[in-house]
């Protein structure tokens, strides 16, 4: 039997904190929202059990594996004129699918990570997707200044395979690293936008009456990127869940929630009023899937490559 569940302002505050960093300790959340640590644990556990918090996730910047661009495809009529499996097979010819989201109006969004040279295939793939293709957006990544170590890769791999909220001590044990090293490398990777920690939410669940979760893709002037991000966080804090992938330039992707349609409309009109915003597309997501198997394969491949390089270097020393 299903039970309706209502969220209060404290629940929403906890969701916002976890959406921006799901590794935030219970005690830190407790001090911010003003309730006991046990109360925080109980509220998070309740939201997980009701499916409002569906999953804790680690987001890895694809640029470290040679992916230079992100491609956002908006398609319509999936499962009516064309099957979902057929679409996925066609899209995988272009790049690796990272996100697949279904929307209330019947459209779907695919977020793909593109390796170098993949954009040359776009013309062929878009022909294969017609007439379902509504829009296609390409996004470049900012170059990274930090190199990724073997320890970083081991940490990433374990967090992908387990719970991203795992304690540093447990990650250290599983990766055969010191807790100090794990803590230092996690902080370094977060500072350099290599790792982000968030949650997969479902505020639009039928169990939850009174809140609408929606995503926006904001087409912007690149020169205004930082200013728009700052205004979103400063002026829209009450309704903002997360602005993931802050390393993108041409567009800003953000997730908001509102109590009703007028509130959603107000948020959209406010975004459109910002200097440097060219267009705002809104999507009411009914289901969302993160595909991360390709990330696991990329990590394993990189680990093997680094091990091979290390063995070759050792062999050169022995030969000398």
CATH number at residue 80: 3.30.70.1710
Residue 149 lies in a domain: no
The tokens describing 236, both together, are: 């829209």
Residue 294 lies in a domain: no
Residue 28 lies in a domain: yes
Residue 187 lies in a domain: no
Taking phi over 0 as left and psi of -120 to 50 as alpha, with beta for the rest, 34 belongs to left
Residue 14 lies in a domain: yes
* pLDDT value for 1: 41
Q: Give the residue ranges of DSSP H helices in the chain.
A: 9-20, 26-33, 37-49, 84-91, 122-129, 150-161, 168-175, 179-191, 225-235, 261-273, 293-319
Same-domain status, 109 and 36 = no
CB atoms under 10 Å from CB of 13, counted, come to 18
Same-domain status, 111 and 139 = yes
Per-position pLDDT tens, the chain of length 320: 445 677 888 999 999 999 999 999 999 999 999 999 999 999 999 999 988 898 999 999 998 998 888 888 888 866 655 677 777 887 887 788 988 888 887 788 888 888 777 667 777 777 777 777 888 888 877 778 888 999 999 999 999 999 999 999 999 999 999 999 999 999 999 999 899 999 988 766 644 656 888 889 999 998 999 899 999 999 998 899 888 765 667 889 899 988 888 999 999 999 999 999 999 999 888 888 888 899 999 999 999 988 877 777 666 666 55
Q: Which of 144, 170, 193 is the last residue of a domain?
A: 144
Q: Which of 144, 163, 179 is the last residue of a domain?
A: 144
Same-domain status, 43 and 69 = no
Host domain of residue 131: 62-144
Residue 102 lies in a domain: yes
* pLDDT value for 78: 66
Residue 319 lies in a domain: no
Q: Total domain count for the chain? A: 2
Specify the CATH number for the domain of residue 17: 1.10.10.10
Same-domain status, 76 and 42 = no
The reported pTM is: 0.85
Same-domain status, 35 and 97 = no
Residue 75 lies in a domain: yes
Cβ contacts of 114 within 8 Å, gap of 6 or more? 67, 68, 69, 70, 71, 94, 95, 138
* pLDDT value for 206: 46
Same-domain status, 73 and 38 = no
On the CB side of 65, CA atoms within 13 Å amount to 22
* pLDDT value for 3: 55
């Amino acid at each position: 039997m299903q039970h309706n569940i209502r969220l209060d302002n404290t629940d929403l505050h906890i969701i916002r904190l976890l959406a921006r960093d799901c590794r935030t300790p219970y005690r830190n959340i407790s001090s911010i929202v003003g309730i006991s640590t046990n109360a925080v644990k109980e509220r998070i556990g309740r939201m997980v059990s009701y499916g409002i918090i569906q999953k804790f996730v680690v987001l890895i910047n694809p640029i470290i594996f040679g992916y230079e661009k992100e491609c956002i495809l908006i398609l319509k009529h999936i499962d009516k004129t064309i099957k979902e499996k057929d679409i996925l097979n066609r899209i995988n010819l272009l790049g690796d699918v990272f996100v697949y989201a279904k929307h209330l109006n019947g459209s779907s969004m695919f977020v793909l990570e593109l390796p170098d040279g993949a954009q040359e295939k776009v013309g062929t793939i878009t022909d294969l997707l017609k007439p379902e293709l509504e829009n296609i957006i390409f996004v470049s990544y900012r170059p990274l200044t930090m190199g990724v170590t073997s320890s970083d890769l081991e940490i990433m791999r374990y967090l992908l395979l387990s719970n991203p909220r795992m304690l540093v001590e447990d990650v250290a044990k599983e990766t055969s690293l010191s807790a100090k090293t794990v803590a230092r490398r996690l902080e370094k990777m977060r500072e350099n936008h290599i790792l982000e920690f968030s949650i997969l939410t479902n505020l639009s669940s039928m169990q939850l009456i009174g809140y609408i979760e929606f995503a926006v893709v904001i087409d912007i002037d690149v020169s205004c990127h930082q200013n728009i991000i700052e205004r979103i966080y400063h002026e829209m804090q009450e309704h903002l869940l997360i602005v993931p992938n802050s390393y993108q330039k041409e567009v800003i992707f953000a997730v908001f929630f509102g109590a009703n349609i007028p509130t959603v409309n107000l948020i959209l009109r406010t975004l459109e009023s910002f200097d440097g915003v060219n267009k705002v597309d809104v999507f009411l997501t009914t289901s969302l899937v993160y595909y991360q198997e390709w990330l696991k394969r990329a990590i394993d491949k990189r680990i093997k490559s680094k091990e091979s390089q290390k063995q070759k270097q050792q062999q050169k020393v022995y030969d000398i």
